Amino acid sequence: MAQAYMAETGNGGAEDERTGSRFRRRWAGLRRDPGIWRRGIVTAACAVLLSLVMIFHAELPNSVGNTGSLIETFLPWLGLFVPVLLVVAVWRVSATALIAIALTAAVWVNLFGGLITDKSGAGGNLTVATHNVDADNPDQHGTAAEIAASGADILALTELKASAVPVYSRELAKTYKYHAVEGTVGVWSKYPLGNTAPVDIKMGWTRAMRTTVETSHGPVGVYVAHLPSVRVKLRAGFTANQRDNSADALGHALAAEPLGKVVLLGDLNGTMNDRALSPITSQMRSTQGAAGDGFGFSWPADFPMARIDQIMVRGIKPEASWTLPATGSDHLPVAARLTV
């Protein structure tokens, strides 16, 4: 048996040596191949262009069809081009393309790698949630029951039809003692509300509001907003001008808020990367970016591709942020745990 074992070991060692020899010969052949640097120039150029778009996305012009905002809305998805380019580079046996793709991958990780990890903490004394319930929601009762079970102390609903308000009010009454509705947005709360008023976001009807929530840790100014929808049209491009004007108006309202502790909840129809929302994002902190687990995409519910439903804070510490299970809406509810 010892001799057989030694024979098997010897054969295995010989096979390993032959494999190593083939690899060395292959590597030596590649090193002598001048085409390894010349091939794949187009692939390398595509990788460089992709890197430049991700690095300088804020410099992309919005003058033609709001192209910059459109790209920024789906910016993380540009990373899907990296493995495609990698396959091409390997197939072409191109060292130039491989180096360029490695740099592109590094750029993506630098921009979005932090969103992949779980940054949630164990603290928090206030849980909030927001949900675009969809005006055409076929299951309003089920949606109300689902979000009532979220454990949120403060719940914001957007895209409320007038006929749907009594349904949600009735279904949520057992969990939330206080509520206020302005136009198509509303707040349901376990804490008393005061100084409730609509916020003019330049739409001609009410899709934003502000209220003071008297939490057990002090008053918090709560804003609920549903910014105008955006569309991608063949000739017009990314039609977002009305949303951008509303973002400016909401930004002015937030800047004038007298309370130091502020929460913004709602469907902003834009992501944190979109420069058009800078009047808001420049003065508020995203709970998903600070304490989320993953990208937290919320729309569309069937295959979430973008985080357009936001929970943002000022003067308050985000502890955790997450999406809730799907309801009858085309958006996912999102929630966050905060320390006031």
**CB environment 217-232: b (16+ within 10 A), e (fewer):** eebbbbbbbbbbebee
Structural class in CATH, domain 126-339: alpha beta
Distance CA 321, CA 318 (A): 8
Q: What is the 3-state secondary structure (H, E, C) of the chain?
A: CHHHHHHHHHHHHHHHHHHHHHHHHHHHHHHHCCHHHHCCHHHHHHHHHHHHHHHCHHHCCCCCCCHHHHHHHCHHHHHHHHHHHHHHHHHHCCHHHHHHHHHHHHHHHHHHHHHHCECCCCCCCEEEEEEECCCCCCCHHHHHHHHHCCCCCEEEEECCCCCCHHHHHHHHCCCCCEEEEECCEEEEECCCEEEEEECCCCCCCCCEEEEEEEECCEEEEEEEEECCCCEEECCCEEECHHHHHHHHHHHHHHHCCCCCCEEEEEECCCCCCCHHHHHHHCCCEEHHHHHEECCCCCECCCCCCECCEEEEEECCEEEEEEECCCCCCCCCCEEEEEEC
pLDDT digits (tens, 9 = 90+) for 158-201: 999 999 999 999 999 999 999 999 999 999 999 999 999 999 99
Q: What are the sequence ranges of the domains in the chain?
A: 33-116, 126-339
pLDDT digits (tens, 9 = 90+) for 193-219: 999 999 999 999 999 999 999 999 999
Neighbours of 275 (CB within 10 A): 16
Residue 237 tokens read as: 């491009």
pLDDT digits (tens, 9 = 90+) for 128-153: 999 999 999 999 999 999 999 999 99
Residue 248: partners with Cβ closer than 8 Å, 6 or more residues away: 202, 279
pLDDT for the residue numbered 23: 55
Distance CA 322, CA 320 (A): 7
- Helix pair angle (95-116, 41-55), 10° resolution: 30
- Per-residue pLDDT, averaged over 230-249, amounts to 74
Residue 176 tokens read as: 């939330």
- Phi, psi at residue 288, to the nearest 5°? -65, -45
Distance CA 44, CA 75 (A): 20
Distance of CA 316 to the CA centre of its chain: 20
pLDDT digits (tens, 9 = 90+) for 39-84: 899 999 999 999 999 999 989 887 777 788 889 999 999 999 999 9
Distance CA 53, CA 70 (A): 12
Residue type, position 293, single letter = D
> What's the pTM?
0.85
Beta-bridge partner residues of 311: 265
The pLDDT confidence band at residue 306, using thresholds 50, 70 and 90, is very high
| Proportion of the chain above pLDDT 90, given as a percent | 77
pLDDT for the residue numbered 234: 47
Neighbours of 86 (CB within 10 A): 18
Distance CA 293, CA 323 (A): 9
> Mean pLDDT score of the chain, rounded to an integer?
90
Residue type, position 143, single letter = T
| Chain position carrying tokens 């198509």 | 184
Beta-bridge partner residues of 231: 239
Distance CA 174, CA 71 (A): 43
